[in-house]
A and B are shown apart, each in its own frame.
Chain A
Amino acid sequence: MAPLRMSALGATHPDGALAEAFRGGDPTVLRQVYDRFGGAVFHLALRGLNSAADAEDVTQTTFVAAWQGRETFDPDRGSLLGWLLAIARRKVIDRLRAAARELRVADAVRALPEPVATESGPERVVDRLLVAHELALLPGEQRRVLELAFYDDLTHQQIAAVTGLPLGTVKSHLRRGMGRLRQRLEVDGAAS
């Protein structure tokens, strides 16, 4: 799926101001970006590499590369988190390829790790992180409704009962919230 070009998802996104400041090169912003997204980048690296030391290296090089290449970040094409995760994912894949070559070069008897299933591959981890962040940015009531549907597997009637919201409001929150998450995946998702 071709990435959609929607400036509405960039500049007016809740992260938009931070992304703009980052692009502008304000040195204090790097720390803010790191505080907001460092955990997600580190998580992706850890999941992909299974080595804390390698994951730390990838996290570090990701933020250094992002800072040095910040002028190439285009908020109209996606979110800052999506961009950071794309950099980190490339670095994870580079490491895995290098490790695989190393195994061949050394002619080691160790078998290559089993291919990762789609549900746990780096693309899925990226999607998960993007959706988690987008979910956290939704208005509180909408977010709460989605959490009850996703995590607690409640029906819309049950959600209405738990929250005291009218049925129509619950359904509307589900539709809008899901739409927003889907849009994020379409723009920034690893599979897009």
Chain B
Amino acid sequence: MRHPDPEQLVLIALGETAPTDHLDGCDTCRAEVEQLRVVAAVGAETQDVRDLPAPPAAVWAGIEAATRGSTPADGPRLTRSARPFRRGTDLAPPRGPGRARRWARRTAALVAAVAVGVAGTLAATRLFHHDSAPPLAGCGTVVARADLSALPLAPTGATGEARVLCDGPQRRLDLHVTGLPLQPGYYEVWLIDPNTMEMTAIGQLGDGNDVLLPLSSTTDLRKYRLVDISAEQYDNDQAHSGKSMLRGQLTT
């Protein structure tokens, strides 16, 4: 069987020449024309994507900030620096019993939670970072820990670890997370009593993968034993958004 020459097939694919009878009987040439037709159709569409505008300048700024000084050996490290971010300047004393504390009381199952108004607001949250925390004065004792697993809203592979360091007034929650995506809001850290779904906000995740948050020595970790990280918006609503990303149970 004599095939049409390749240039003939190109012209057929471009719709310039009528398909020949040969194509009806030749799978090879028919497939060739089909592929060339796709190329021609996609080619015609390329007119719309020439000279595309560059992304806004903030995008490059974010990339530069996130990649500065990093090497592949650092492993995947997503940044969340695109969002506004308040950084604590010093380490505030842990919230103690004498400090007014309001608890967001929830009765609905958390995963189904739709944000509702909460009477009052949680005490203003401050952010704490390794780089701003004073030395732990030798108190690195892990008194409880939890592996945090991705909930359905989180990307596959998102994971984390929470460790409670020290007991008493120096008690802290040491968090390490990976794989949480950039989002326009922020991530809030909660402790939840799974029996009552009462919860309290501990603090916010910064734009790194690690954060060290003060933890009241009076919080009963056998009761409030779920560590939960939720995606929150800057919407003045202090209640849990219902968008939990990571969760894990503390074990002592």
Question: A residues engaging B (CB < 8 A)?
Answer: 25, 27, 30-31, 34-35, 38-43, 53, 55-57, 59-61, 63-65, 67-71, 91, 94-95, 98, 101-102, 105-107, 124-125, 127-129, 131-132, 135-136, 146, 149-151, 155-156, 171-172, 174-175, 178, 181-182, 185
6 extra interface residue pairs, beta carbon distance < 8 Å, beyond A131-B43, A149-B40: A35-B54, A68-B75, A70-B72, A94-B156, A150-B44, A185-B42
Given known pairs A40-B52, A132-B46, A135-B43, the reply for A171 and B7 (CB within 8 Å) is yes
Interface flag for B14 (CB, 8 Å): yes
B252 lies within 8 A of chain A by Cβ: no
For A69, give its contact among B49, B76, B155 (CB under 8 Å): B76
Tell me the interface secondary structure of chain A in the complex: helix
B42 & A151 in contact (Cβ 8 Å cutoff): no
Q: Decide if B195 is an interface residue (CB 8 Å cutoff).
A: no
CB of B93 within 8 A of chain A? no
Q: Known contacts A34-B60, A105-B111; is A174 also within 8 Å of B10 by CB?
A: yes
- Asked if residues B55 and A59 are in contact (CB atoms below 8 Å), the reply is yes
- Is the C-beta of B184 less than 8 angstroms from some C-beta in chain A? yes
A-B contact pairs, 14 of them (CB 8 A): A27-B67, A35-B54, A38-B54, A39-B52, A56-B56, A60-B63, A65-B78, A105-B153, A106-B114, A107-B112, A135-B43, A150-B43, A150-B44, A174-B7
> Which residue of chain B has the shortest Cβ distance to A37 in the bound complex?
B52
A40 to B44, CA, bound (A): 17
